[in-house]
Amino acid sequence: MADLFKEKTIYTVAELTRNIREILEDSFPQVWIKGEVSTLRTPQSGHMYFTLKDEKAQLKCVFFKNASMRLNFKPEDGMECVCAGRISLYDQSGQYQLYVNSVEPLGKGSLQLAYEQLKKKLAAEGLFDPAHKRVMPFLPQKIGIVTSSTGAAIRDILQVINRRYANVHIIIRPCLVQGKTAALDIACAIEELNSFKDIDVIIVGRGGGSLEDLWAFNEEPVARAVYNSRIPIISAVGHEIDFTICDFVADLRAPTPSAAAELVVQEKEQLVLAVESMAKRLTESVVQRLKLAQMRFSHLIKSYALRRPQVIVEQYQQSLDNLDKRLKTGILNVLDTKNARFKPLINLEAGISRLLKTKQSHLAQISARLLNLNPLAILSRGYSVTYLSSEKKLLKDIQGLKKGDILETKLDKGVIISQVEECRK
């Protein structure tokens, strides 16, 4: 038996695994594999672990964080992808797997997929909500511009503004509009312009280009900076057919940088004409009202009331005397027909006074009779009335009373609340 083992090479598990790993890595240093992403998980380390599968087989995949950070989109379960990487073996499990260094989605490009994923995410958070959009100022005094200082966009914007309203104050914050660091530079530029207290509106944009050229305006830092800006923002990225994430978040989208300048600045000549037209209408209106006032004033001067005011006053005085006479005559007629004892009265004031005194005397007699009939009138002479508080019942004897009952004793001025301690016959 010992001789039998001497003729064979005996490996440890680790040795065999290492040899197989070397064979796999030498045979498949770089491969491209097409399949469907499944069971994707991303622990706190940031590495991605998933399975690439088709109808007949499956392959474990590892996508380390330092490589996955270069992706523009996020792989998802069910996504058809082409993964590039090397085949190797994980010693601890003895399982071969693909160590991924890049992923490309099938059907749509990675940038298009990343665009759709971010758009969906930001829309769910409300960054595109119309309620967040602000109205552009009618005539801004100071305009901020975020774009490249050497591109065609800044030249177009300045040319339009100078032609339409040359004396507007402009602050340019140059920034990168293309490349890996462009998005952060654009976001910083927006934040810096927000530190100015008197900027009325900001134009953010660049000239046209491919999806890759415009990609900085599709990244999340730019979208967040536009949304958080306290100053209204016009997005002017690319040509009319180009739509970016920045366009959806901004308060207003312009199809081109030149159009943004036209939207933000009114044409001075048109404003001057409008002001002149309104001034003319105002002058005509004032002149017309003055003419009407002069006509009314002229009519008043010629009126009888202003030429002979004393006559009108005398006529009113005479009318007042007539009314007074008719009033006295009417009252005397009523008194003569209703009561014979008033016939000798000659003076109307004396007759009315006598009538009032008679009525007052009659009222005093009725009041005295009511007061005498009031059962509580005797209280003013030192008497009192007692009630059982719980029943508001007038007490005439002690029948039914018991210790602890609450009594109310009404005096001429005030009420006494007491409690029964003892009842005696």
The predicted structure's pLDDT at residue 38: 86
Q: Find the domain containing 392 and state its range.
A: 378-419
Q: Is the pLDDT of residue 143 over 90?
A: yes
In terms of domains, do 52 and 172 share one? Answer: no
pLDDT higher than 80, residue 30: yes
Q: Which of 245, 266, 287 is the last residue of a domain?
A: 266
Tell me, yes or no, whether 92 and 16 share the same domain: yes
Confirm whether 395 is domain-assigned: yes
Tell me, what CATH number does 45's domain have? 2.40.50.140
Take residue 87 and report the two structure tokens written for it: 């085949």
The top-scoring range by mean pLDDT among 146-160, 182-196, 233-247, 398-412 is 182-196
Q: Does residue 25 belong to any structural domain of this protein? A: yes
Residues 75 and 24 in one domain: yes
State whether 326 and 240 are in the same domain: no
Residues 354 and 409 in one domain: no
Per mean pLDDT, which range of 176-185, 219-228, 232-241, 274-283 is the poorest?
274-283
* Residues 48 and 100 occupy one common structural domain: yes
Residue 232 predicted with pLDDT over 90: yes
Average of pLDDT values for 308-315? 73
Tell whether 245 and 170 lie within a shared domain.
yes
Tell me the C-alpha distance between 143 and 166, whole Å. 12
Domain end among 47, 78, 107 = 107
The alpha carbon of residue 317 and the mean position of all alpha carbons in its chain are separated, in whole angstroms, by 67
Q: Is 120 a member of any domain?
A: no
**Do 137 and 199 have their domain in common?**
yes
Looking at 46, 72, 107, which one is the last position of a domain?
A: 107
- Do 151 and 206 share a domain, yes or no? yes
pLDDT in tens, 331-369: 666 655 555 554 554 555 566 677 778 877 877 777 677
Q: Are residues 391 and 366 in the same domain?
A: no
Q: What residue ranges in 148-222 does DSSP mark as E strands?
A: 169-174, 201-206
Domain annotation covers residue 289: no
Let me know if residue 113 belongs to a domain: no
- 97-101, 330-334, 404-408: which has the highest mean pLDDT? 97-101
Global pTM? 0.50
99 in the same domain as 25: yes
Range in 205-219, 224-238, 316-330 the model is least confident about = 316-330
Distances (CA, A) of 323 to 315, 328, 334, 345, 358: 12, 9, 17, 21, 28
User: pLDDT for 35-55, tens place per residue?
Assistant: 888 888 989 888 999 988 888
Distance CA 54, CA 320 (A): 114
Report pLDDT digits (tens) over 296-306.
888 877 777 66
Report the distance separating Cα 268 and Cα 36, nearest Å. Answer: 60
Question: pLDDT over 70 for what percent of the chain?
Answer: 87
Answer yes or no: do 166 and 93 share one domain: no
Nearest to 235 by CA among 270, 201, 195: 201
Neighbours of 307 (CB within 10 A): 9
Q: Is residue 261 in some structural domain?
A: yes
| Number of structural domains in the chain | 4
